[in-house]
A and B are shown apart, each in its own frame.
Chain A
Amino acid sequence: AQSVTQLDSQVPVFEEAPVELRCNYSSSVSVYLFWYVQYPNQGLQLLLKYLSGSTLVESINGFEAEFNKSQTSFHLRKPSVHISDTAEYFCAVILLPLRAGGTSYGKLTFGQGTILTVHP
């Protein structure tokens, strides 16, 4: 079965500093990869995704993530954070191929989450 590990449960950082939130997954097959963001007492919002093609994917608010197949990682980075980036971030994977009836068919597996706190 696949698993997702977010190596840091909490990451404190000062405003305008760079940040990296780490995500590693275990899978012997290809995957789709996602980063979601959750603000307090709200649902999850998709930040960015890797399905195929370029291994570097970007979001509209300055975050980027790079798919590294050899290291089975999908770390999230931002060169300069803002106070408004304070939130919890979740990495998630879907196994490929999507075989109907398989136990992992279509299921999104989440990491434990990383709380990013940006201080002024």
Chain B
Amino acid sequence: DGGITQSPKYLFRKEGQNVTLSCEQNLNHDAMYWYRQDPGQGLRLIYYSQIVNDFQKGDIAEGYSVSREKKESFPLTVTSAQKNPTAFYLCASSITLGNEQFFGPGTRLTVL
């Protein structure tokens, strides 16, 4: 089956710890994205990548970092600098930037 996988589905971390969220796609898409979802605020773009070895900040990149070493993978690290990291994180991909985006199932991060 082609699609986007995110792991884990639920993640708990202590305050002050960095944590990395996984996102993998086998759709052969060039572009990948990370969004943060909070109740009543829709989705906000954290980082996006147009192609391997390239990525750009989105609207709320502070406290986050990404890498894009392989076409299939776009991991997101939530650092201790992120002041309010508890949220639902969604990864997406598209054939190229600006095309229809396909979403993964999401990771719910809770920082205790």
**A residues adjacent to B (C-beta < 8 A):** 4, 9, 32, 34, 36, 41-46, 49, 90, 94, 98, 105-108, 110-113
Chain A residues near B6: list those with CB within 8 A: 43
Which B residues are CB-close (under 8 A) to A98? 97-98
Q: What are 6 sample pairs from A and B whose C-beta atoms fall under 8 A apart? A: A34-B100, A41-B106, A43-B6, A105-B98, A110-B42, A110-B44
Q: Contacts A43-B90, A43-B103, A46-B102 known; A106 to B31 CB distance under 8 Å?
A: yes
Report how many A-B pairs have Cβ atoms within 8 Å: 53
- B48, CB-defined interface residue at 8 Å: yes
| In the complex, B108 has a CB within 8 A of chain A | yes
Chain B residues lying within 8 Å of A44, measured Cβ to Cβ, are: 43, 90, 92, 103
Query: Interface size bucket, B side?
Result: 20 to 34
Residues of B within 8 A of A43 (CB): 4, 6, 90, 103-106
- Where the two chains meet, the residues of B that have a C-beta atom closer than 8 Å to any C-beta of A are 4, 6, 31, 33, 40-45, 48, 50, 58, 90, 92, 96-98, 100-106, 108
A117 to chain B, nearest CB (A): 15
Known: A43-B90, A98-B98. A90 touches B43 (CB 8 A): yes
Top 6 nearest A-B pairs by Cβ distance? Answer: A106-B97, A106-B98, A43-B103, A110-B42, A98-B98, A44-B103
Could you tell me if B45 and A112 are in contact, using CB atoms closer than 8 angstroms?
no
B106 touches A42 (CB 8 A): yes
The interface residues of chain A lying within 8 Å CB-to-CB of B50 are 106
Give the docked Cα–Cα distance between A46 and B94 (Å).
12
Q: How near does chain B come to A106, taking the closest CB pair, in angstroms? A: 3
